[in-house]
Amino acid sequence: MASERDPILRADFVRRISQYSATSLLVLDEVSKDNRTYAHLWGHSKHSSRVELHQPFVRKRQFSMLATMALDEGIIASQVVEGSFTRDLFLQYLRDDLVSVNWFSLTASNPSF
């Protein structure tokens, strides 16, 4: 939120992060998707009466994905799991998928790594 932004902390972050070139930074993000059915949240009714809608809510399988992107290389590692990522799955992703990326090929094509 804008009210939580501290310009001094932000300036300090920019100062610290600016020591790295943009091509040496990796961006990691998680996304989740499920196939829930959604009921309408809003409706119309006569004045002074409530809207009532009885509709089944179905929760289906959920999938989560972690992906890491390098500026010049695109997505360099990703993993999809059914359900949510736990601490152990996240550490496994870092160890088995991200750290095992062939860094030599990345650094050969981009000397700033």
Rounded to two decimals, what is the model's pTM?
A: 0.60
Q: Tell me if 42 is assigned to some domain.
A: no
In a domain, 29, yes or no: yes
Domain range for residue 32? 24-36+58-103
Looking at the structure of the chain, the number of domains it has is: 1
Tens digit of pLDDT at every position of the chain (113 positions): 566 688 999 999 999 999 988 888 889 999 988 776 555 556 677 778 777 766 665 667 889 999 999 888 889 999 999 999 999 999 999 999 888 876 555 555 555 54
Please report whether residue 71 resides in a domain: yes
pLDDT for res 113: 47
Find out whether 23 and 112 touch, Cβ atoms under 8 Å. yes
Residue 3 lies in a domain: no
For residue 99, being part of any structural domain is answered with yes
